[in-house]
Amino acid sequence: MIVGIVGYGAYIPRLRIKIADIARVWGHDADSYRVGLGIEEKAVPSLDEDTTTIAVEAARNAMKRAREVGPKEVGAVFVGSESHPYAVKPTAATVAEALGLTPNLTAVDTEFACKAATTAMQACLGLVKAGYIGYGISIGADTAQGAPGDALEYTAAAGGAAYVIGSGDGVIGEIEGTHSYTKDVPDFWRRDGAPYPRHAGRFTGEPAYFEHVISCTKALLEKLGTTPGDYDYVVFHQPNSKFPLRAARTLGFEESKLRAGLIVGRIGNTYSGSSLLGLAAVLDVARPGERVLLTSYGSGAGSDSFSIRVTDAIDSKRELAPPVMYYVERCEFIDYSTYARHRKLFRER
Amino acid sequence: MSASGVPRHWRSMRERYRLLGTYCENCNSTFFPPRKICPRCRRRGRTKQVEFSGRGRVFSYTVINVGSETFEEYTPYVVGLVELEEGPRVMSQIVECKPEDVRIGMEVEACFRKLFEQKDGGIISYGFKFRPVDNSWADYYKKLSAERRAEAAESTK
Amino acid sequence: MPLRREVAIISAGATQFGEHWDKGLKDLVWEVGVKAVEEAGISGRDIEYIVFGNMSGGMFEGQEHVGALVADFLGLNPIPATRVEAACASGGVAFFHGYMAVASGMYDLVVVGGVEKMTDVEPGRATEILSAAMDYEWEAYFGTTFPGVYALMARRYMHEYGLKPETLAKVAVKNHYHGSLNPLAHFRNRITEEDVLSSPIVADPLRRNDCCPVSDGAACLILAPLDVARKYTDTPIVVKAVAQASDTLSLLERRDICTLDATVNAARRAFARAKLERGDVDLVEVHDCFTIAEILALEDLGFCAKGEAYKLYEEGQTYVGGKIPVNTDGGLKAGGHAVGATGVKQIVEIVRQLRGEAEGGRQVDGAEVGLAHNVGGSGATAVVTLLSRR
């Protein structure tokens, strides 16, 4: 049976702050960050938004597209994030309640830095294929934080995407195969109770991001017997605009195939939402029969790769919810002091 | 360590998450807040739960500059009395637009937002708020189809 | 349903309303209770029943069981004492219950009072406590404040009737003028329209000077059967009628958010019972928790048509000396709003005026009939009282 994506949805908060404005506050050279990272601005959550609210909005959009799926047919909800609002109390339970899916389903919060949600997609895939559930939802959402003045502050952003996984005629993106590649690599971490993550500078490149993204993608292609030429689109995890471009080049994917799914320049690194928002942007334009290669990356470290074939069903479902570009372009800019208030950078009274 | 009022927050949680009301089959009326008995028919009423579409219009609004203890950190914010398309009115915040752009009669739709966080590590409360309806996203698909048609025309040349 | 007998007020008094750092609930109650008993020339032992209005001793002071507190600290045990709560209408509803106790023949001498101690908590907390007058679950829970609810009413009223902010400002200016003549008022300063229109927005369109303050204060009356009232005072004031009505707790299901149906219903019943017309009334004390509330009150009480109250303010007719003097003691805005006491304080002012004892130049000449109007929350409770000299 065909198993894959039956619905997808995106949500990006509307506030933005320009990289140049952050640099100005810290006395950094704005251009070296803008050009070096390939990012102009990043998305900032409103005072009343968090990972849970973003996850709900994205999932509601996904369920609009997965129109054949009734709430009671969903057997699992996964929320992958590194900014779950509670350290202990599952985001997925709130999402399940907000979507009217309760009570006969499982709800799970996952963590693996930026690949928490693609990991969850594999779990949904397994549950559906094994016949344990009819449909499962995997959501990647984050309201990422970087320490003030740190390099990460330029990229840590907020956003999310949700995927309804199932089978049958409603599948719009068949998941032909998946592979994961995991090693213990301390490139980026956050200790329990610490407010901001730490990273190992340039070490986050070669031995971390590239080692995993490239190795995982190669392994999947070999497993399926496909080559970069067989794909019309490629989406990688997007911590900045440069890393995905270099990975594509190394693997032999043409740069033009990266374009549709590369949105980090306008919204920043949405962490668990990053590669999945890229995939959503691709599904907004992909035609039946086209193929997408998706590889996520999570620090610590690991990658998940997926080979996805778009089906005929996409044309009748795509327009049921807003496209990623709508969320990218509907924005309101704020200054650093407003941003500081929103991100609670001031010590609490 | 026990936090205060938790059951109270939980009791109306589902109605807050999904904008649920009551429909009486006897008199064909819809009510919000949800009711156990129909206020019109009382014992003769046959009530059931109904989920509102979330679409409505602003009936009145105000901009809160001075909030109560719980909401101080969010000011200024807009509170609106929204008339749902099914008839009943609800009161909540209006977000995603500048306070000065709110108008009586403005079309709004429900969204899911954080209402507040209890102090001292207590629970987070979520519920419905409203944002202006923006159907412009449909234009993106029109633009994409037009681009595709142009591409197709190009490639057949 | 005919009443057993007519009721009169034989003594009336109030504390100053304001920030009384040195006075708690017990002090305020003692001050006003002792005065009332002395003025009536009675002994405490003659009192048979006590009814006191208090919105929230519990949330402001951690003190419930306020009825017992009043009896105890007035030295009146074992006289039965009841605390009545109806948010800002607690005083008016307490008066209604005291009146019923005498009118029914159950008791002869009854003390009616109200007290509130509000300034021990921080403003943010006070705002939160006052939000309990609304529907906590479906209004306050979403961020609405008490000024916010009246602001929603004001915004809609402006939309439907074209009301201008300047008219609301005139209400506050007039109340401060009257307050400046009242030694017991919370605010004694006069303000201008400019002062109101330039004060910071609290809940748009209501500004700080559109809103009444939080106050500490108490007020107290003694009721007696009319046929023996002259034993205690030369100037008994007759209670012609008291009527109370209710409406939805929240604005959500109000028939019309620009009308307080509870006021309309209570007024209709009160005037019918008293067999009086609007034109018979010489002065009114209305519930101006916010300037918009005074505008709505004059219309809902039937003194002018809906949408037309602004005319009275354009023409200055609500000042002492005008066609219909409103809130001659400064109302809630300048007089102060010690929530549980306000409904009683309003009646104290009417009593003073009908006795010809209002000082400072705010006496309404030849006042014969007065009306007091007390509202709870955004209009869920309303009490209308008609008093006359004869």
Does residue B33 have a cis bond before it (omega within 30 degrees)? yes
Put simply, the answer to whether A53 touches B95 (Cβ < 8 Å) is no
What per-residue confidence (pLDDT) applies to A347? 66
Residue B3 has pLDDT above 70, yes or no: no
Q: Which residues in B lie closer than 8 A to residue C152 (C-beta atoms)?
A: 60-62, 79-81, 91
Contacts of C44 (CB under 8 A, 6+ apart): C37, C74, C75, C76
- Digit-coded pLDDT (tens) for C124-179: 899 999 999 999 999 999 999 999 999 999 999 999 999 999 999 999 999 999 99
Interface test with C, best of B31, B35, B65 (most C CBs within 10 A): B65
Question: Strands A74-80 and A135-143: what pairing?
Answer: parallel
Domain C145-209+239-388 belongs to what topology?
Peroxisomal Thiolase; Chain A, domain 1 (3.40.47)
What per-residue confidence (pLDDT) applies to A345? 78
Set C97, C287, C337, C373: catalytic member: C337
Rounded Cα distance, A171 and A127, in Å: 16
Other C-beta atoms within 10 Å of A2: how many?
Answer: 15
Shortest distance between the Cα of A219 and any Cα of chain B, in A, equals 34
Helices (H), chain A: 19-26, 30-37, 51-65, 91-98, 116-129, 211-224, 242-251, 264-267, 274-283, 314-317, 324-329, 336-342
Interface test with B, best of A44, A47, A48 (most B CBs within 10 A): A48
Residue B18 at interface with chain A, using a CB cutoff of 8 Å: yes
Q: Which residues in B lie closer than 8 A to residue C151 (C-beta atoms)?
A: 62
Q: Which residues in B lie closer than 8 A to residue C210 (C-beta atoms)?
A: none
**Shortest CB distance from C143 goes to which of B64, B81, B104?**
B64
Residue A20 has pLDDT above 90, yes or no: yes
- Annotated catalytic residues of A are 82, 114, 237
pTM, rounded to two decimals? 0.95
Rounded Cα distance, C72 and C66, in Å: 10
Nearest-10 Cα torsion for C20, C22, C24, C29: -80
Residue C366 has pLDDT above 80, yes or no: yes
How many inter-chain contacts (A to B, CB under 8 Å) are there?
Answer: 59
Rounded Cα distance, C267 and C241, in Å: 10
- Digit-coded pLDDT (tens) for A263-312: 999 999 999 999 999 999 999 999 999 999 999 999 999 999 999 999 99
Does residue A301 have a cis bond before it (omega within 30 degrees)? yes
Q: Where does A3-172+317-342 sit in CATH, by number? A: 3.40.47.10
**Which chains sit next to B, with 3 or more Cβ pairs under 8 A?**
A, C
Average pLDDT score, chain C: 96
Rounded Cα distance, A164 and A177, in Å: 17
What per-residue confidence (pLDDT) applies to B146? 85
What per-residue confidence (pLDDT) applies to C278? 98
Rounded Cα distance, C82 and C65, in Å: 9
Q: What is the DSSP letter of A208?
A: I
Q: CB-side exposure of C190: number of CA atoms within 13 Å?
A: 6
Instruction: Specify the range with the lowest mean pLDDT, choosing from B48-57, B116-125, C151-160, C205-214.
Output: B116-125
Domain limits, CATH 3.40.47.10, in chain A: 3-172+317-342, 175-315
Rounded Cα distance, B49 and A257, in Å: 49
Whether the Cβ atoms of residue C242 and residue C384 lie closer than 8 Å to each other: yes
- Digit-coded pLDDT (tens) for B102-115: 999 999 999 999 99
Split at pLDDT 50, 70, 90, the class of B157 is low
ipTM over 0.90: yes
Rounded Cα distance, A153 and C284, in Å: 62
- Digit-coded pLDDT (tens) for C206-226: 999 999 999 999 999 999 999
Q: Which residues in B lie closer than 8 A to residue C147 (C-beta atoms)?
A: 66
The torsion angles phi and psi of C360, rounded to 5 degrees, stand at 80, 5
For C7-122+215-237, CATH number out of 3.40.47.10, 3.10.310.10, 3.40.50.2300, 3.50.50.60 equals: 3.40.47.10
What is the number of residues in chain C? Answer: 390
Which CATH architecture group holds A175-315? Answer: 3-Layer(aba) Sandwich (3.40)
Residue A349 has pLDDT above 80, yes or no: no
**Shortest CB distance from C124 goes to which of B64, B72, B129?**
B72
What per-residue confidence (pLDDT) applies to A129? 97
Split at pLDDT 50, 70, 90, the class of B152 is confident
What per-residue confidence (pLDDT) applies to B2? 60
- Domain ranges within chain B, ordered by starting residue: 54-155
The stretch A225-235 carries a mean pLDDT of 98
Put simply, the answer to whether C145 touches B66 (Cβ < 8 Å) is yes
What per-residue confidence (pLDDT) applies to B115? 97
- Digit-coded pLDDT (tens) for C243-270: 999 999 999 999 999 999 999 999 999 9
Instruction: Specify the range with the lowest mean pLDDT, choosing from A63-77, B24-38, C187-201.
Output: B24-38
Rounded Cα distance, B117 and A48, in Å: 10
Q: Which chain B residue lies closest to A285 (C-alpha atoms)? A: B144
Residue C88 falls in the annotated catalytic set: yes
Split at pLDDT 50, 70, 90, the class of B84 is very high
Shortest distance between the Cα of A333 and any Cα of chain B, in A, equals 12
Q: Which residues in B lie closer than 8 A to residue C206 (C-beta atoms)?
A: 62
Q: Which chain A residue lies closest to B123 (C-alpha atoms)? A: A86
Average pLDDT score, chain A: 96
Strand partners, A15: A44, A332
Whether the Cβ atoms of residue A8 and residue A163 lie closer than 8 Å to each other: yes
What per-residue confidence (pLDDT) applies to B147? 81
Put simply, the answer to whether B137 touches A285 (Cβ < 8 Å) is no
